[in-house]
Amino acid sequence: MALCLKQVFNKDKTFRPRKKFEPGTQRFELHKKAQASLKSGLDLKAVVQLPPGENINDWIAVHLVDFFNRINLIYGTMSEFCTEKSCPIMSGGLKYEYRWQDDYRYKRPTKLSAPQYMCMLMDWIETLINNEDIFPTRIGVPFPKNFQQVCTKILTRLFRVFVHVYIHHFDSIISMGAEAHVNTCYKHFYYFISEFSLVDQRELEPLK
């Protein structure tokens, strides 16, 4: 945990190297297509829609990895403001508290500080997206039957990063001049999870 927290507080680095797609693969091409649509200035609601003829699981996988990279970067840039002292509980205001459970080290919902929670979350997601049994990269290897359930859990927890950052650290975002970037990333994320009903509406309440 000490190493993990040290990474969190290093403002000059994100948590870990960006997860990338292998050139020449279908997912790499989908990623390029999605990025081109974003840069073209198209409406974000239209950008997230599944392109004709594409596999929905591939589309979800591409976006999930991209959101992981971007949200990881967002939190990494303002992690100096999110400390054990300022955020002793991972929360979204006074009404919402998020506890950590991963069925390995923490088998029961456990109260953690926000930095600890974020660290556990990013490590947990990285382990999942690098697991070939869950996110297969080889041609012809199918996604597992519970793939979308796994993605729902990941995206739900990533949404909690937005909740914490917006409610507890928005002043810091503004002071860094990152408001527009964070807002665009959040809108993209929100439209995507809404398009495919990937996060329970109750989880979205804190930012409504």
CA 189 to chain centre: 9
pLDDT of the chain along its 208 residues, tens only? 333 433 333 434 334 444 555 555 545 555 454 455 445 456 888 889 999 999 999 999 999 999 999 999 999 988 999 999 999 999 999 999 999 999 889 999 999 999 999 999 999 999 999 999 999 988 889 999 999 999 999 999 999 999 999 999 999 999 989 888 899 999 999 999 999 999 999 999 999 8
Q: Contact, 156 vs 202, CB < 8 A? A: no
CA 124 to chain centre: 11
Global model pTM greater than 0.85? no
Residue whose pair of structure tokens reads 């991972």 in the numeric block: 90
Helices (H) and strands (E) in the chain, counts: 7, 2
3-state helix, strand, coil in the chain (%, to 5): 60, 5, 40
Question: Which among 13, 58, 67 has a CA at the least distance from the CA of 38?
Answer: 67
Question: Which among 106, 147, 104 has a CA at the least distance from the CA of 129?
Answer: 147
Six-digit token string for 128: 């999942």
Q: What whole-number distance in Å separates Cα of residue 99 and Cα of residue 91?
A: 9
Residues marked as binding for Zn(2+)? 82, 87, 164, 169
Residues marked as binding? 82, 87, 164, 169
CA 207 to chain centre: 16
